A and B are shown apart, each in its own frame.
Chain A
Amino acid sequence: MSTTNDRHFKEEAEMARELQQHPNLHIPIPDELEWRIRERIHNLKRKRRNRTAKIATAGVAAVCAASFCLAVNLSPAFAKSLSQVPVLSVLVDALRMDKGIEAAVENGHAQQIARSVTSNGIQFTLDHVVADDKRMLLTYSLKLDDSHPEIKHLDLNSFTIRNGEGELLTGKENEQYLSGKIGETEYRIRHSSLSPVQGESRVATGYMEIVSSDAHAVFPPAIQMSISSLSVPETGEILQGTWETSFTLDPRLANAKPLEYPGQSFEMNAGPHQLKLKVDEIRLYPTMTAMSISFLNPEDLPAGTGILYTMHLEDENGKVYEHIDDEELTDSGNVRPQFVSSYFDSSQELYLVVKAVEITSLNGGKRYEVNKRVRLY
């Protein structure tokens, strides 16, 4: 006579065999996952740095001012285009993040919005937008009146960003950023930062960068932003209000389509390793040049090995377009690097220059100077 446990054991053994042999049940891990995790940790690191920075507000403000002066000196066109922004440190922060934005702004690829709305003694102003098909950077400011003398820091607690039809692109609710889906395209906030409340005018300035999941997607031309509450990090206090504004993207920004070039394969030697790579596609956007590079022979490297590329783009006159993100370490060897854009330049030729490759493992890494130059177009 069989017991309940016996039956369980028999059933389990049969089903286990069935399940393990079923080919459809293998769950493929998307290549993008590692990139997404690294990106999230990168943002968290930045956020932690910003939080630390808030502790020494005065010192940071001075440094920010100095940095901005440097940017102004280096780039008068940039300073002119954004001279209306009330507190400049936020843009310094944005530029530290991304030289591609600076290049786009220098070339007039920014739109002033300057729309304000006041609620609960706080004026919200949407200041500027820098956008192309790939991403959108919004700068904004919050100005406090005398009814909130004690507040030193603020945070957007609950807000939504929608298209003209009211469909959600992204936002924030219950401490979580929201990711909306319109058609097949998902939108999310990649970077977000808000300065402390500064100066006699009691203004905090912030920016957020919105990106789309689909490389071929475009941002909707009409954007509505609605904030329903702000939070005070020190006390946990929530300030309710209604701050709503909208804008329509300037056709100059909305119609700036990426320039697309086909990819190509190439090989290079990193010490004893011969690496076979393929640039899958190249897209030149106003704010960045994006491409994906696939590593074709991962089986030739030991298991558990990662690859770290040091690279940039260069035109026929030797002008360098830097890699925007930090170097990306991937165990698949596939990367999606972004570079400062050459969109506004009249370069006839563009080269990918891989300066060095580091083959890493948990026990350490070895760096090889490669100096491989691949003509992209």
Chain B
Amino acid sequence: MDEVIVNRARQGDADCFAEAVLAVKDQAYSIAYCYLRNPENAMDVVCNAVEKAFANIKKLKDPKLFKTWFIRIVINECKLHLKREKKWSILEEAESFGLQPANWDTRLDLDLLLSQLHPVDRSMIYMKYYLGYTLDEISTLTEMPLGTVKTRIYGNLKLLRQQLEKKEAYL
């Protein structure tokens, strides 16, 4: 991320703000999509995050952290959206992670398995394996302790592995 651009955005230059946001839009959308599984909702959430970031850009102290800061706003917007829809509780307790009970024996495609994960878990796996974030970065972005991030990612990997093995047994 070009610090000059972010600094100009902090000084109120809307065009530079647009440039900074557009540079991270794909990652922001992907993460939002992981949470919400709906393109329209994901776009809405990213746009709402753009609005919040626009109003608060002056509060960003270190321009180097723009991407982290913006993605964090996106994640908070996703949580807010899910809370409003009341589809998922956004509790961070250990027992909240894991696959939701569904017809596992008939829906054993990996994509489906991922879609059954808690949105927070799904997005953490996506961030780790597709977007290349480190566990530390995911901990910062999701505002969860590093230990919790590790437990949830590894716990879910294990669950996915078990379910895929179950799938292979059916084939």
Q: Which residues of A contact B (CB under 8 A)?
A: 8, 11-12, 14-16, 18-20, 22, 24-25, 27, 29-30, 32-34, 36-38, 40-41, 44-45, 48, 176, 179, 186, 213, 331, 362
Contacts and interface: CB of A to CB of B under 8 A. Distances in A.
A27 B50 contact: no
Contacts, number: 88
A12 B30 contact: no
Interface stretch (B85-93, B96-104, B157-165): B157-165
B80 to A, nearest CB: 9
Contacts of A38: 18, 22
A176 B22 CA distance: 22
A22 B51 CA distance: 34
Interface of B: 2, 14, 17-19, 21-22, 25-26, 29-30, 33-34, 39-40, 43-44, 46-48, 50-51, 54-55, 109-111, 114, 125-126, 129-130, 154, 157-158, 160-161, 164
B17 A41 contact: yes
Given A36-B43, A37-B18, A20 B154 contact: no
Contacts of B34: 27
Contacts of A186: 40
Contacts of A33: 25, 29, 43, 46
B43 A15 contact: no
B21 A41 contact: yes
Contact of A27 (B2, B33, B48, B110): B33
Contacts of A18: 110, 160, 164
A45 B17 CA distance: 11
15 contacts: A11-B154, A12-B157, A18-B160, A25-B110, A25-B130, A27-B126, A29-B25, A29-B29, A32-B43, A33-B25, A37-B21, A41-B17, A48-B14, A186-B40, A331-B22
